[in-house]
Structure 1
Amino acid sequence: MRIMIDARMGHTRVGMGVYVRGLLRSLSKIDKENEYFVILNKGKKDNFIPLQDNFHKIYTGVTYSNYLKRDLWEQIYLPILLNRYKIDVYHGPNYILPLFSSKKMILTIYDTISFSNYGWYKPVSRYRVQKLLSLSAKKADKIITGSEHSKKDIISILGIPEEKIKVIYIGVDEEYKVIKDQSKLNLVKAKYGLNKKFILHVGSLNPRKNISRLIEAYNKLPLELSKEYQLVLVGGKGWRSNEIFAKIEKLGLNDKVLFTGFVEDDDLHLLMNAASLLVFPSLYEGFGIPPLEAMACGIPVVASNTSSIPEVVGDAALLFDPYNVEEMSVAIYKALTDEQLRNDLVKRGFERVKYFSWEKTAQETLAVYNEIYNSIGD
């Protein structure tokens, strides 16, 4: 079987990139027979592609940032590539499929955010994603999604039959584990200017991540706690991120809230180990990887009680209403000050993260490839 996978987002830290990297690495460990043709961005990091005979790299200069060129490339040139390399099954982990190809298609849909909350997308981007996602979902022979919650949304919002959707949970990378070498943790703290204990948030700065309310919740902590703990925001600037910096300025928290921008995985797992707490206040997630990564690193997690998050974290996180700033602040306070609760959350986190492995993700995905391949000619 000849499989093509679009991995142009594989060099990024966003959820799509984490998914592509983890999937490809694990497929290489369990599958030495099928041929994989992996599409990559020319000039971007590609060291996540396995160096073995059945994995082949295909480069393109068309990136995700130029929507017009990207759409034309996917709808006109990608079908040519599928024919040129005699591909049997195409896997699009980026919401969009080549609509005019007759090849067998698998689509990964992480969420249906563009249909749900209009304030979270630029209007033009929202319309584009809605149209292309709807058409791609109908085109797909099979849809993979990361949670039962997302599956229900795909059924209700996109009108896709339940039997066409397969839920496959995402794994946690091996480097996310407890690091006991204090010198490594001290070095990463010094690198990012951290001289206090800190509360960590990981995610792009956009309205869906609910960071403005997180800052308000942090500001409501008792003064002695906010003096003891910094709030560290890890992630790139996104749509309407200026509102977040305006909030920090308004509340006079410039010395207490630190923005790092994107952080490489080599640093991120160390920052998670050095943190006292991970807060995940998102209003909507199709899955949500950072809470599991934090649990694997042995730090307690407090998180939203919305969308797929309770499904992912189970009983291993302290949940709160993300629209209720007071409730969020109380959850943070408890997780910082109640030692018994902290220990319990860490213990439960270690157990919870055992349910999520990239090997299992790869095995279940390979089973979908085989199912679709075996249907050729039907």
Structure 2
Amino acid sequence: MKIVFVTPYYTEGMGYIGNRLPAKLAELGHEVHLISSTGKVYFTQSFFKNYKNVHEKKHVVEPYKLVEGVHIHRVPHLEFMSTLYLRGLWTMLKRIQPDVVHTWEISSPYVLQIAVAKPFLNYKMFSANHYVLSVFALHRTWHKFSMAKLKWVLLKKYTGKFISMFTDQCFPATNDARFVAVKYMGMPLRKCKVTPLGVDTDLFKPITDEKGRILRNELRKTMGYSENDIVCIYTGRFAADKNPLVLAKAVDKLQKAGNTRYKGLFIGVGEQESEIKDCEGCQIIPFEKYVNLWKYYQASDIGVWPTQESTSMIDAAACGIPIVISNQLYARERVSGNGIDYEFENVDDMSAKLLTLEDASYRQRLGQHGSEKMKTQFSWDRIAEERIADYTYHINKK
């Protein structure tokens, strides 16, 4: 099967689905292509500069590269109201002659290009939605008129409704992502199949042997942690919408109350960096590509994401540590049986909930349940096999 993924930007080793799903499909023996602009991940965003240890430049010069069996193609682009039009996309698709074209958005100029080309190039078209309610701010003010709402309705909802006529199936990542896709992006409910974002369980897995335990202890020692410390890890952007400062303040509160075993480990970059550094018991490691994070999850005791959903949650869970998330998140399947929630952005409650995880045997029980669940329900291997079944069904459908 010839499969083409189209994405507005791409960086090797950065970004989960853009790197892992194509590679897993290639492992299954399919011819997989990924078409992107010349831009790297976040290149249109103001915070791109925060990732200078990963991105030396905004753009990639080489037009083609083979990465993990996936053919990566770069095409020129035009920016349009924070979205991209990919020049030469039609020509590239015509040359490849794919059976399937898959995007990770429902409505965007380049997705419209794919929809318009479909009747002429005769492929099946698939999309996805990773917008969840915790990130979709307009959901909270939708009942009011605003220019932001008008812009969304015109450029996303109505355009999405048109594009959906050409879309064979859409894969929202969670139940609330499906709600967003239907209500705010014009995708018919009957075309939606909830499919979670996955985890590479070959990379993210619990420690099962003595070598792993030795490596864990060595890394903890390097970072200044003792065997008895309870390390609470957060990975991602240090931004107000992610608000890792809640965890830092909670650790600071515990430290000052005499619970000095609790430590905060933050891996990433962003505007809250200086405030996090000022909190007792907290340290920062610069942004790392996701492929390097497994060792830090294995060296930690609790994973914490204070506000929004993050794929890092399931990576941490796959490594066998319990996770703490906000009580406002809708994707409960990520924490059910393998973690707890706390009252949204309440530092006191965060501190109290971390204390409930003080017992190592309790953390181990939660972590074991999480790693088993991630392997059986969230692995990219399983998702890739299911995705091929979905593609095949629609290709054979009369």
**TM-score between both structures, scaled by the size of structure 1:** 0.78
Letter in 1 for 2:97: K
Question: Taking structure 1 as reference, are residues 325 and 361 closer, same or farther at Cα in structure 2, changes over 3 Å only?
Answer: same
Whole-angstrom CA distance in 2 between matches of 1:226 and 1:12: 37
Letter in 2 for 1:6: V
**Where do residues 246-261 of structure 1 align in structure 2 (5 Å cutoff)?**
247-248=275-276, 252-253=278-279, 256-261=281-286
**Matched position secondary structure for 1:278:** strand
Whole-angstrom CA distance in 2 between matches of 1:132 and 1:189: 49
Question: Taking structure 1 as reference, are residues 152 and 69 closer, same or farther at Cα in structure 2, changes over 3 Å only?
Answer: closer
Q: Is the 8 A contact 1:272 1:294 kept in 2?
A: yes
Letter in 1 for 2:190: E
Letter in 2 for 1:9: Y
Whole-angstrom CA distance in 2 between matches of 1:206 and 1:320: 19
Relative to total residues, which structure has the larger helix share, 1 or 2?
1
Shift of 1:10: 4.8
**Where do residues 287-326 of structure 1 align in structure 2 (5 Å cutoff)?**
288-326=310-348
Deviations 1:162-201 (A, max 9, x none): 111111122221111123434433554566x444543101
Shift of 1:125: 10
2:2 corresponds in structure 1 to: 2
Whole-angstrom CA distance in 2 between matches of 1:94 and 1:160: 11
**Pairing partner for 2:205 from 167, 177, 194:** 177
Question: Taking structure 1 as reference, are residues 106 and 257 closer, same or farther at Cα in structure 2, changes over 3 Å only?
Answer: same
Whole-angstrom CA distance in 1 between matches of 2:131 and 2:249: 27
Q: Aligned pair 1:363/2:388, yes or no?
A: no
Whole-angstrom CA distance in 2 between matches of 1:268 and 1:130: 38
**Pairing partner for 2:72 from 43, 57, 60:** 57
Q: Aligned pair 1:116/2:139, yes or no?
A: yes
Shift of 1:274: 0.8
Matched residue pairs, number?
346
Q: Between 1-10 and 313-322, report the one with greater CA deviation.
A: 1-10
Deviations 1:132-157 (A, max 9, x none): 54324641412111112211222233
Whole-angstrom CA distance in 2 between matches of 1:139 and 1:352: 35
**Matched position secondary structure for 2:284:** strand
**Pairing partner for 2:306 from 278, 281, 295:** 281
Gaps of 5+ in 1: none
Q: Is the 8 A contact 1:6 1:94 kept in 2?
A: no
Letter in 2 for 1:247: E
2:127 corresponds in structure 1 to: 107
2:12 corresponds in structure 1 to: 11
Q: Is the 8 A contact 2:20 2:380 kept in 1?
A: yes
**Matched position secondary structure for 1:291:** helix
Shift of 1:80: 3.0
Whole-angstrom CA distance in 2 between matches of 1:318 and 1:48: 41
2:163 corresponds in structure 1 to: 139
Deviations 1:296-340 (A, max 9, x none): 2222222222233312222211121223222211111221x2234
**Pairing partner for 1:349 from 342, 361, 370:** 370
Letter in 2 for 1:291: M
Letter in 2 for 1:175: L
Question: Taking structure 1 as reference, are residues 347 and 190 closer, same or farther at Cα in structure 2, changes over 3 Å only?
Answer: closer
Whole-angstrom CA distance in 2 between matches of 1:371 and 1:38: 22
Letter in 2 for 1:21: N
Whole-angstrom CA distance in 1 between matches of 2:221 and 2:147: 41
**Matched position secondary structure for 2:111:** coil
Whole-angstrom CA distance in 1 between matches of 2:98 and 2:342: 47
**Matched position secondary structure for 2:204:** coil
Whole-angstrom CA distance in 2 between matches of 1:183 and 1:227: 24
Deviations 1:25-69 (A, max 9, x none): 221233x2x53222255369x998333xxx53323365xxx8449
Runs of 4+ in 1 over 6 A off after TM superposition: 123-130
**Matched position secondary structure for 1:108:** strand
**Pairing partner for 2:33 from 22, 34, 37:** 37
Q: Is the 8 A contact 2:161 2:186 kept in 1?
A: no
**Pairing partner for 2:184 from 153, 157, 160:** 157
Q: Is the 8 A contact 1:105 1:139 kept in 2?
A: no
Q: Is the 8 A contact 1:205 1:236 kept in 2?
A: yes
Q: Is the 8 A contact 2:342 2:353 kept in 1?
A: yes
Whole-angstrom CA distance in 2 between matches of 1:48 and 1:298: 33
**TM-score between both structures, scaled by the size of structure 2:** 0.74
1:203 corresponds in structure 2 to: 236
Letter in 2 for 1:27: L
Q: Between 258-267 and 352-361, report the one with greater CA deviation.
A: 258-267
Give the percent of matched residue pairs that are identical in Structure 1 and Structure 2: 22
1:269 corresponds in structure 2 to: 294
Whole-angstrom CA distance in 2 between matches of 1:132 and 1:369: 28
Shift of 1:272: 0.7
Whole-angstrom CA distance in 1 between matches of 2:183 and 2:12: 32
Shift of 1:214: 2.2
